[in-house]
Amino acid sequence: MTDKDRDIAVLGAGMHQWGKWGRNFVEYGLVAARAALADAGVDHRDVGYIAGADTIRNGYPGFVAGATFAQALGWSGARISSSYAACASGAQAIANARAQILAGLTDVALVIGADTTPKGFFQPVGGERRDDPDWLRFHLLGATNPIYFALYARRRMALHGATLDDFAAVKVKNAKHGLNNPYARYRKEVSVEEISASAIVSDPLRLLDICATSDGGAALVLTSMEYARKRGIANPVRISALSTVTPTFPKTVLDLPDFATDSAVAVEPPSRVFRSAIAQAAYEEAGLGPAELSFAEVYDLSTALELDWYEDIGLCEEGGAEELLRSGATTLGGRIPVNPSGGLACFGEAIPAQAIAQICELTWQLRGQADGRQVENARAGIAVNQGLFGHGSAIIATR
């Protein structure tokens, strides 16, 4: 099988607007799914496979999202799967659908992710679980998500000289990008002064440096290339690579909820850190490199983490993210716009939907349909995120 034989087509993309709506997550997923089906011109009864990305906060229906969404759409006999991989849940669902298509088990797959989130920051599900490192990092260390975002920020400041103004500039950029995104929760420009004046959540990060928790939903209709051609679509957006690689031993950079790194006394550290390895595997599969990207969607849980991603996906050398940002290269109109959607800064986290939402944005950009935030002559884009416990993903879409 050649690299091009692994391509699948994205015929439909749909979303439910992000926000705090307080309704059942299934409603958001249905809105997104119906929009994706309408975009593709496909009836749900023609879908052979439904891949659901799970939400662990919404009870048993959330744990079996594939069946939950299949029932809500109307039982059609389609095969299903349900995936949970923290922030990479949506990418795992896409990977399942892609595998079914490439195996010849179905021509048309529907991928859906949706979430209803609590007010404030995420916390472990209920109960006492003293052998669960995610439970322990909250109850033993008091390390909420913003704390480890802040630890990454401090690391960046110490190693590479990042400043609070650099972090604020990321938020200013993304807020401007999201102004014209109808699905974004926050559609308002902010200034460096407003960011600096916002409350300190976990020093050095302010409230406006950290993404919110949000309700939202996203869906994709994925098909074989042959099916797309039969529908008269000769040049669809295609997923050319999908990487979900795990870390390589020894893992020497601490990632909560892990409390310690592997020992590297007897084994040399790998040549690439985890997030960089995720992206590199996707580049190798797609047969292209960072220089051939038109834009990128990265998982900006905090403003500081976006800067780390610049280096992880090869947009610049290690320690060069601040200079790249300051040059204007990552802004719309620059050499390599990052988060033209507005990113998590404008959306917030709806965990099982977010990786799917990133591919919606890649699709709209590559079609030239991202009104008000369009990347000029977009031909290839990458979407990356990192979940907990060695989960993460990089997806490359091309046209």
Q: pLDDT tens across 184-230, in order?
A: 999 999 999 999 999 999 999 999 999 999 999 999 999 999 999 99
CB within 8 A of 153, min separation 6: which ones? 162, 167, 204, 205, 209, 302, 303, 304, 305
pLDDT surpassing 80 at residue 1:
no
pLDDT tens digits for 92-107? 999 999 999 999 999 9
pLDDT tens digits for 219-264? 999 999 999 999 999 999 999 999 999 999 998 888 877 878 898 8
In the chain, alpha helices (H): 25-40, 59-63, 65-73, 89-102, 133-139, 145-160, 164-177, 192-197, 225-230, 274-286, 303-312, 321-326, 343-347, 351-367
- Quick one: average pLDDT of 300-328? 98
Residue for token digits 């999202």?
65
Distances (CA, A) of 397 to 34, 165, 228, 361: 22, 32, 16, 10
User: Hey, is 226 helix, strand or coil?
Assistant: helix
Confidence category of residue 266, pLDDT binned at 50, 70, 90: confident
Please tell me what DSSP assigns to residue 272.
S
pTM value is 0.96
- Per-residue HEC secondary structure of 80-135 comes to EEEECECECHHHHHHHHHHHHHHCCCCCEEEEEEEECCCCCCCCCCCCCCCCCHHH
Largest CA distance in the chain: 58
Tell me the two tokens of residue 340.
Answer: 């033209």
Tell me the two tokens of residue 320.
Answer: 């060069």
CA angle 145, 147, 148 (to 5 degrees): 70
CB within 8 A of 26, min separation 6: which ones? 61, 68, 69, 72, 114
Give pLDDT, residue 2. Answer: 52
Give pLDDT, residue 3. Answer: 55
| Complete domains list, the chain, with CATH | 4-120+215-238 (3.40.47.10), 133-210+239-398 (3.40.47.10)
How many Cβ atoms sit within 10 Å of the Cβ of residue 192? 15
Closest CA to 255 of 111, 110, 133, 115: 133
Report the C-alpha gap between 259 and 269 in whole angstroms: 18
Beta bridge partner(s), residue 80: 50
**Between 122 and 173, the higher pLDDT residue:** 173
> What's the mean per-residue pLDDT of the chain?
95
The dihedrals phi and psi of 79, each to the nearest 5 degrees, come to: -70, 155
CA-only gyration radius of the chain, Å: 20
pLDDT tens digits for 360-395? 999 999 999 999 999 999 999 999 999 888 899 999
387 and 87 in contact (C-beta within 8 Å)? Answer: yes
Give pLDDT, residue 345. Answer: 97
**Between 134 and 168, the higher pLDDT residue:** 168
Question: Sign of dihedral through CA atoms 331, 333, 335, 337?
Answer: positive
**Between 130 and 109, the higher pLDDT residue:** 109
pLDDT tens digits for 37-53? 999 999 999 999 999 99
